[in-house]
Amino acid sequence: MCGIVGYVGRREAAPLLVQGLRRLEYRGYDSFGIATRDKDLLVLKHKGKISDTVFVSNPLPGGLGIGHTRWATHGVPNDVNAHPHVDCTHNIAVVHNGVIENYSELRKQLTARGHHFSSQTDTEVIPHLIEENYEGDLLEAVRRTVAVLHGSYALLAIAQDDDRVIAAREKSPLVLGIGDGEMLAASDMTPLLEHTERVVFLEDGDIASLSADHYEILRAGIPVTRPVEIVDWGVEDVKKGAFEHYMLKEIYEQPQVFYETVRTATDESIVPLFKKVPGVTVVACGTSYHAGLVFKYLLEGMCSIPVRVELASEFKYFTPPIRDLVVAVTQSGETADTLAALRKAKAHNCMTLAVTNVQGSTVTRIADQTIFTRAGPEIGVAATKSFTAQLAVFMQVANLLCDRELDEVLSRGHLAISEVFLMDLGKAVTLCKDAGLIFFVGRGPFYPVALEGALKMKEISYIPAEGYAAGELKHGPFALLTPETPVVAICTPGNTYDVMISNIKEMKARGAPMVGIGEEGDSELEEIVDVFVPLPRSPLAIRILTTSVVFQLLSYYTAKALEREIDKPRNLAKSVTVE
Ligand code: F6R
């Protein structure tokens, strides 16, 4: 969702801000803008994608500035609603992520006091409030302003006659980059990596003032110290390299990601956490929810620990009466619904564990304990390597809980993923790309894999796709089966093999073209499907990984055949920080 970046230092701010905004593009946005301070306060903002021509024809001078990518919530995407927003005197400029819940009341009050509003945004109340509170000290004016805001915000403010960038955080992430003669602030670490590896994660309620050589953090008006942390991601991690899309790059990084995550998620101190509780509840959204569903099959099947998996957006409002260990799964660590569910679990006195990919993210501050996935920055909006990394964590947790019975299997996972890259999915892509609807079906742990396959397909190819437990199709969806409705079925050895073969025959009999993902040499399956995708013979855990990667590639190449905007699908944001 929206991204913000701020800079103060020895260099020209505008090029750094633009570069920073480009790093934040992956979060999703519909307009952008920057403001710098020179002789005047200069603002440039536009609807649409960041383009160099805008900045080349209007280079904004000044060594201090703020920038923003907007993902519209209040007010349509247009030039006027784009950030930064300014006050009546054009002395103050503000960029903001989050939602000001009491903005309409504040706006009425400010209008009654003579302020003029140009946009439909909630954000615009902030520069007007700062204007009223400003008596020559921007930090103090921001402090007084945030005291009347309700809702969530990560905001940056600058003023024409102040040398500082002021940053404030409440329920929306904000990280400072500590440079050499320069300071930065951004909504995540990606714009900072080019400039520094030293970062400070602000806490809710913090207000920071940044000048070129110094920063200070206040809480309730009192200076506080926050640790300076060293980022474990490098700038190369956020570059696309020779790949056409970030998504493809990230798919190809998965062997390494799986290997690293399995290697590092070996802290046995989590074992008692799982043994002390009556059960485990996973809360998550989207792809992370699907990883949680796989975890359920692993933990229940291997360790006889009951697991429930809840959509975080539901859990918050319909909290079950549990005493479980609550596991929040979130790549970004910032998904508003997942954070809200986790807070709710804490309020119910549940023990909590986070599984996340982002150092310093909000989820790590809420949960009692954290396990990190080692996926590195994921820039493609569609989650790929983060899903595989979550599976790696869950497989390792199940392994630790079950006397390391998966040790040998896990040591081979990365090799098995690499083998998928050699497969030819051309025929399956041909079958899918013109479809009006595609079903993905599987049983047991392959049911969430099917859900994830369908999610990937719909989000990047825009072809409607449904994931189903294979047995459910005849309870309604059969009505949709036609020769234009391919079904992609996972049918590998195990106790559901025979029933899957029957299901595939039933679907075939209703005219659906079938893609069968099965074990190599399975002539029975090969004979009944239209396209057979053979996987190397392997244990269940490995097949969960390989089928997931097959689906990622199938979606990717289908979307590519349809010339979709793969890394930034329409209407989507990478990190969903509003409920
Ligand atoms: C789909 C996708 C989303 C995310 C969901 C949760 O490809 O990326 O469904 O999985 O928004 O995000 P995190 O894991 O950051 O909480």
pLDDT (0 to 100) of residue 52? 65
Active site residue 574: yes
Name the closest-CA residue to atom 5, ligand 1: 286
Name the closest-CA residue to atom 3, ligand 1: 286
The string of DSSP codes covering 392-458 is: HHHHHHHHHHTTTTTHHHHTTHHHHHHHHTT---HHHHHHHHT-S-EEEEESTTHHHHHHHHHHHHH
Mean pLDDT, rounded, of the chain: 95
Q: How far is the CA of 287 from the centre of ligand 1 (A)?
A: 5
pLDDT (0 to 100) of residue 486? 98
Tokens in use for 553? 């590639």
Does the pLDDT at position 552 exceed 90? yes
The string of DSSP codes covering 193-230 is: TTT-SEEEEPPTTEEEEEETTEEEEEETTEEE----EE
What 3-state class would DSSP assign to 167? Answer: strand
Does the pLDDT at position 489 exceed 80? yes
pLDDT (0 to 100) of residue 59? 78
Residue 56: which pLDDT band, with cuts at 50, 70 and 90?
A: low
Q: How far is the CA of 297 from the centre of ligand 1 (A)?
A: 20
Name the closest-CA residue to atom 16, ligand 1: 330
Residue 49: which pLDDT band, with cuts at 50, 70 and 90?
A: confident
* 203 or 575, greater pLDDT: 203
Tokens in use for 214? 């110094």
pLDDT (0 to 100) of residue 143? 97
Residue 75: which pLDDT band, with cuts at 50, 70 and 90?
A: confident
pLDDT (0 to 100) of residue 417? 97
Q: How far is the CA of 329 from the centre of ligand 1 (A)?
A: 10
Q: Which of 289, 310, 273, 308 is nearest to 401 (CA)?
A: 273
Paired residues of 215 in beta bridges: 210
Each residue's pLDDT tens digit, 251-267 = 999 999 999 999 999 98
Pocket of ligand 1 (CB under 6 A): 285-288, 330-332, 335, 338, 382-383, 455, 459, 575-576
Name the closest-CA residue to atom 13, ligand 1: 330
Q: Which of 561, 549, 550 is nearest to 516 (CA)?
A: 550
Q: How far is the CA of 351 from the centre of ligand 1 (A)?
A: 23
pLDDT (0 to 100) of residue 575? 81
Q: Residues 414-427: what's their mean pLDDT?
A: 96
Each residue's pLDDT tens digit, 224-245 = 999 999 998 988 888 999 999 9
Each residue's pLDDT tens digit, 170-225 = 999 999 999 999 999 999 999 999 999 999 999 999 999 999 999 999 999 899 99
Q: Which of 45, 171, 568, 574 is catalytic?
A: 574
What 3-state class would DSSP assign to 544? Answer: helix
Paired residues of 36 in beta bridges: 42, 65
Which pTM does this prediction carry?
0.91
Q: Which of 2, 303, 432, 491 is catalytic?
A: 2
Amino acid at 172: S
Tokens in use for 122? 């909630």
Active site residue 427: no
pLDDT (0 to 100) of residue 72? 84
Contact between 283 and 414 (Cβ < 8 Å): no
Does the pLDDT at position 30 exceed 70? yes
Each residue's pLDDT tens digit, 351-406 = 999 999 999 999 999 999 999 999 999 999 999 999 999 999 999 999 999 989 99
Q: Which atom of ligand 1 is nearest to the CA of 575?
A: 15
**How many angstroms separate the CA atoms of 107 and 97, rounded?**
18
Contact between 199 and 177 (Cβ < 8 Å): yes
Q: How far is the CA of 430 from the centre of ligand 1 (A)?
A: 28
Name the closest-CA residue to atom 7, ligand 1: 382
**For helices 125-133 and 138-146, angle between their N-to-C axes, nearest 10 degrees:** 120
Q: Residues 516-540: what's their mean pLDDT?
A: 97
Each residue's pLDDT tens digit, 318-363 = 999 999 999 999 999 999 999 999 999 999 999 999 999 999 999 9
Name the closest-CA residue to atom 11, ligand 1: 286
Q: How far is the CA of 29 from the centre of ligand 1 (A)?
A: 16
Question: Where do the domains of the chain lie, and which CATH numbers do they carry?
Answer: 3-237 (3.60.20.10), 240-411 (3.40.50.10490), 421-571 (3.40.50.10490)
Residue 53: which pLDDT band, with cuts at 50, 70 and 90?
A: low
